[in-house]
Amino acid sequence: MDKLPKIGIPILIVIIGLIILIVKSAVTIKSGEAGVLYKTFDAGVVIDEAPLGEGFHIIAPWNKVFIYEVRQQELFEQMKVLSSNGLEIQIDASAWYEPVYSELGRLHQNLGENYLDRVIKPSIRSAARSVVGRYTPEQLYSSKRDAIQDEIFTETKKILEKQYVQLNEVLVRDVTLPNTIKDAIERKLKQEQESLEYEFRLVTAAKEAEKVIIEAQGKADANRILSASLTDKILQDKGIEATIKLSESPNTKVIVIGSGQSGLPLILGNQ
């Protein structure tokens, strides 16, 4: 009986040691994350194997696991850049990005956990300076926002191609000009709009005048043709036709044949 406690104590120590070892060796990777394994007594960062996926993992206690978020993330940047004529413009932009999953080991080995500040932010700022420098403030304010958004995305994506980062989208949220420049542009746009409206009214008035002239000319031509075609014989025939129709009317009347002007019938009635 006296020996049992002496045997139980070493076993208990071993069990406690195993528990501590398991706790130190256990790694839980959450949803949307992946782990990069670092082997202390081997080649260091594991780059030739897939990253550790979500779930529970047991690793050697002398190794380490660096956990990265592999879901799409958003970076919001406010950048002050110069337009083509040297004026300072503020660009508010968002970038959607994520690490390349299969290259997570190389990302950790070459850039580390601070890859956002090391490559993504400098790349977007460089691309924004390059793109905005091609345009005037008027273009940036009025019609070129979609164009600069696409160009910043293209140039940033090109820079990040070999940096183990995937750029999904760049969105230009706002373009802020100095107030004096903004007011001048708005006045200019208003004047251009008023000028276009005035030109439209002039064109409309000219078309209406042309329409009236064409209608008047048509009526004059019709009257001239009609006058040329009306002879005394035609008028007499029309008068006779009208006389016959009137004679058939039930109204009381007296028709004197040949007493009217140009030999047309003269109609006398009780009215």
Q: Which residues of 77-100 are buried (b: 16+ CB within 10 A; e: fewer)?
A: bebebebeeeeebebebebebbbe
First to last CA, the chain: 154
Higher pLDDT, 205 or 8: 205
Regarding whether 80 and 65 lie in a shared domain, the answer is no
Domain count, the chain: 3
In CATH, what number is assigned to the domain containing residue 109? Answer: 3.30.479.30
Asked if 79 contacts 90 with a C-beta cutoff of 8 angstroms, the reply is yes
Residue 5 phi, psi (nearest 5): -60, -35
Same domain? For 78 and 48 the reply is: no
221 within some domain: no
Q: What is the pLDDT of residue 85?
A: 80
Of 162, 177, 192, the one marking the end of a domain is 177
Whether residues 82 and 46 share a domain: the answer is no
Query: Do residues 45 and 38 make contact, with C-beta atoms less than 8 angstroms apart?
Result: yes
Q: What is the mean pLDDT of residues 208-234?
A: 72
What does the pLDDT read at residue 106?
94
Is the alpha carbon torsion for 257, 260, 264, 269 positive or negative?
negative
**Whose CA is closest to 85, among 120, 34, 136?**
136
Structure token pair of residue 31 = 């949803």
Residues in the chain: 271
User: Which of 100-104, 110-114, 243-247 shows the lowest per-residue confidence on average (mean pLDDT)?
Assistant: 243-247
Q: What is the DSSP string of 57-103?
A: EE--TT-EEEEEE-S-EEEEEEEEEE-TTS-EEEEEEEEEEEE-GGG
Asked if 45 contacts 63 with a C-beta cutoff of 8 angstroms, the reply is no
Range of the domain at 96: 73-177
Determine what percent of the chain is predicted with pLDDT higher than 90. 31
- Residue 101 banded pLDDT, cuts 50, 70, 90: very high
> Residues 187-196: pLDDT tens digits?
665 555 656 6
Domain assignment of residue 199, yes or no: no
1: pLDDT strictly greater than 60: no
What is the rounded distance in angstroms from the CA atom of residue 24 to the CA atom of residue 5?
Answer: 28
> Which of 69, 84, 100 corresponds to the end of one domain?
69
Whether residue 44 sits in one domain with residue 126:
no
Shared-domain flag, residues 54 and 93: no
Domain boundary among 54, 69, 84: 69
What Å distances lie between residue 109 and 30, 77, 124, 165, 216, CA to CA? 22, 26, 22, 13, 88
Give pTM, 2 decimals: 0.60
Could you tell me which residues are beta bridge partners of residue 90? 80, 176
Give me the chain's average pLDDT, please. Answer: 78
* CB 2, CB 38: distance < 8 Å: no
Mean pLDDT throughout 141-146? 73
pLDDT tens, position by position, 25-48 = 678 899 999 999 998 888 889 888
Residues 253, 171 share a domain: no
Average pLDDT (170-176) is 88
Per-residue pLDDT tens over the stretch 56-86 = 888 888 889 999 999 999 999 998 888 888 8
